[in-house]
């Protein structure tokens, strides 16, 4: 039996059936021009009552079936043959002051196949493509979405075409080429690569994985919330998420919203959108109808975004569930990055470290016995240039004049 799910527009609430591929709501997308956040991003909704009835018969059927009923694919045989998601949570009170009586949980997404959170979205888009006989997938990316799609497509024998700003970190570009994808560097920034990828989708008919534009990116990313629901004894009181385009945070909310619709949880956790001072367009525009976006500048390339594409949906979630914005400076990000590596052995990329920096900023307000989760979205080896500036690489030993007393 074909899956019963449908799409609904976050701006106008129009519904669309699942009988064909959807990107944006065609009515609202008419208002989109170059340089605006996307109107008409679609949310995928499921027959929650049917699922609830099944849960009443067998309370752990969703868990046993890996939440397949809450994904827009028919079965897991179309899923990439790699371990996507199911990432570890490290719980610790280590390195916290004795007076801090809360629990800190670090959800580490570096263990995904291409070392970032983006694999959750790429896997679902790729599986959907497979089920629908689509062979070529295109994406614009600051680096991670592209390297992710390239790796996932390699594992699925699909063709990936990746547009990136030419200044993307070398490691991410190296990944794209190693996975055998077609790399199209763009003389310009991410936003220009984004627009070019849309033009190519229209001209060539390739399936498009652009974040937010393809609603399955949100659906893939929501799986992290199902995992947190299972991995933690209780839901987090505070959850820190790094934000660029606002798709990861929307995914996190959507996952919890699905669980709420099924009565599996009773409230949505308090979520922080953490942005860099130099790239805070989403949280600077939470209370306005007419957003004004400024050019972004931060060393955390994965969250350096001029136009937060998923602005409307992310804003709606944050406002509806009392989410909060926090800004961190680049030097706070670097400091957080060193702390995570030095205190926990977790070397993450700057965007991921920003979530930890946000946590450090808020820490004094955390109440006893609260549960705190920080989402660490990508691996540190993806961008070593950013942290190199704060490291002292020792000179090589001159063996003729070696002096053990110096060490
Ligand atoms: C993409 C990305 C983010 C931000 O996700 P958005 O959906 O753009 O908000 C954060 N961290 C890493 C490592 C990423 O790759």
Q: Is the CB of 139 under 6 A from ligand 1?
A: no
CA distance 94 to 370: 16
Kindly indicate the confidence band of residue 201, based on its pLDDT and cuts at 50, 70 and 90: very high
> Which of 207, 59, 60, 49 lies closest to 135, judged by CA?
207
Q: What is the pLDDT of residue 84?
A: 98
CB of 301 sitting under 6 A from ligand 1? no
pLDDT digits (tens, 9 = 90+) for 205-240: 999 999 999 999 999 999 999 999 999 999 999 999
Architecture of the domain whose range is 89-115+217-389: 3-Layer(aba) Sandwich (3.40)
DSSP bridge pairs for 108: 376
- Residue 246 alpha carbon, nearest atom of ligand 1: 9
- Average confidence (pLDDT) over 319-334: 98
Structure confidence at residue 267 as a pLDDT band (50, 70, 90): very high
Residues of the chain with CATH 3.40.50.1100: 89-115+217-389, 119-213
Distance 351 CA to ligand 1 centre (A): 7
CA distance 260 to 22: 25
Token code pair at residue 86? 């199911």
- Would you state the pLDDT for residue 95? 43
* Per-position DSSP letters for 263-313, written without gaps between them: TS-SS--EEEEEEETTB-TTGGGTT-SS--------S-GGG--SS-TTHHH
**Best mutation site among 220, 281, 378 for ligand 1, i.e. most ligand atoms within 8 A of its Cβ?**
378
Provide mean pLDDT across the span 303-308: 93
Reply yes or no on whether the pLDDT at 190 is more than 80.
yes
Please report which helix (H) or strand (E) contains residue 124, including its range. helix 119-131
Taking alpha carbons only, the member of 76, 350, 118 closest to residue 224 is: 118
For residue 100, the model assigns a pLDDT of 62
Tell me the torsion sign for CA atoms 6, 43, 21, 262. negative
Q: How far does residue 334's CA lie from ligand 1's centre (Å)?
A: 17
174 pLDDT above the threshold of 70: yes
Looking at residue 151, what is its pLDDT? 98
| Mean pLDDT (whole number) for 49-53 | 97
Instruction: Say what percent of the chain tops pLDDT 70.
Output: 98
Specify the ligand 1 atom closest to the Cα of 242: 10
Mean pLDDT of 34-38: 82
- Specify the CATH architecture of the domain 119-213: 3-Layer(aba) Sandwich (3.40)
Query: Across residues 183-196, what is the average pLDDT?
Result: 90
Probe residue for ligand 1, chosen from 87, 239, 303, 309 as the CB with the greatest number of ligand atoms within 8 Å: 303
Confidence at residue 311, expressed as pLDDT on a 0 to 100 scale = 97
Residue 372 in 3-state DSSP?
strand
Whole-number Å distance between alpha carbons of 249 and 230: 19
d(CA 160, CA 182): 6
Pairing assessment for the beta strands 270-276 and 182-186 based on DSSP bridges: unpaired
Output phi, psi for 219, to 5 deg: -65, -40
Residue 287 above 50 pLDDT?
Answer: yes
pLDDT in tens, 58-116: 999 999 999 999 999 999 999 999 999 999 999 986 445 556 678 999 999 999 999 99
Tens of pLDDT along 327-379? 999 999 999 999 999 999 999 999 999 999 999 999 999 988 899 999 999 99
The answer to whether the CB of 116 is under 6 A from ligand 1 is yes
Cα(224) to ligand 1 centroid in Å equals: 13
Q: Is the pLDDT of residue 1 over 60?
A: no
CA of 248 to the centre of ligand 1 (A): 6
Tell me the residue length of the chain.
Answer: 407
Q: Considering only CA atoms, which residue is closest to atom 2 of ligand 1?
A: 302
pTM for the whole thing? Answer: 0.96
Q: Which atom of ligand 1 is nearest to the CA of 282?
A: 9
Q: What is the pLDDT of residue 99?
A: 61
């Amino acid at each position: 039996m074909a899956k019963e799910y449908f799409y609904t527009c976050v701006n106008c609430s129009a519904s669309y059936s699942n009988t064909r591929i959807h990107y944006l709501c065609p009515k609202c997308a008419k208002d989109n021009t170059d340089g605006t956040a996307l109107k008409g991003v679609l949310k995928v909704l499921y027959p929650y009552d049917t699922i609830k009835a099944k849960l009443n018969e067998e309370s752990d059927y969703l868990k046993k079936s890996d939440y397949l009923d809450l994904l827009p694919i028919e079965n897991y045989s179309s899923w990439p043959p790699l371990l996507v998601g199911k990432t570890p949570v490290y719980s610790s009170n280590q390195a916290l002051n004795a007076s801090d009586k809360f629990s800190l949980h670090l959800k580490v997404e570096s263990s995904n196949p291409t070392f970032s959170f983006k694999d959750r979205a790429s896997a679902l888009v790729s599986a959907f493509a497979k089920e629908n006989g689509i062979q070529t997938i295109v994406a614009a990316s600051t680096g991670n979405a592209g390297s992710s799609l390239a790796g996932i497509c390699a594992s699925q024998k699909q063709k990936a075409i990746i547009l990136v700003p030419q200044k993307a970190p070398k490691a991410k570009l190296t990944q794209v080429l190693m996975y055998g994808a077609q790399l199209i560097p763009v003389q310009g920034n991410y936003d220009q690569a984004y627009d070019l990828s849309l033009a190519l989708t229209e001209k060539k008919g390739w399936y498009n994985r652009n974040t937010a534009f393809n609603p399955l990116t949100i659906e893939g990313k929501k799986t992290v919330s199902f995992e947190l629901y299972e991995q933690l004894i209780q839901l987090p009181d505070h959850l820190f998420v790094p934000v660029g385009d606002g798709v990861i945070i929307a995914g996190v909310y959507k996952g919890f919203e699905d669980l709420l619709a099924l009565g599996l949880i009773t409230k949505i956790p308090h979520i922080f959108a953490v942005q860099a001072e130099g790239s805070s367009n989403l949280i600077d525009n939470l209370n306005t109808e007419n957003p004004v976006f400024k050019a972004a500048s931060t060393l955390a390339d994965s969250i350096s975004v001029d136009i937060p594409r998923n602005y409307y949906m992310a804003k709606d979630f944050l406002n509806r569930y009392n989410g909060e914005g926090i800004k961190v400076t680049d030097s706070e990000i670097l400091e957080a990055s060193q702390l995570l590596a030095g205190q926990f052995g977790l070397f993450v990329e700057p965007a991921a470290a920003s979530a930890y920096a946000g946590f450090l900023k808020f820490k004094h307000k955390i109440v006893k016995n609260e549960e705190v989760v920080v989402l660490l979205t990508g691996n540190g080896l993806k961008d070593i240039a950013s942290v190199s500036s704060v490291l002292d690489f020792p000179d090589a030993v001159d063996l003729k004049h070696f002096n053990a007393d110096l060490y």
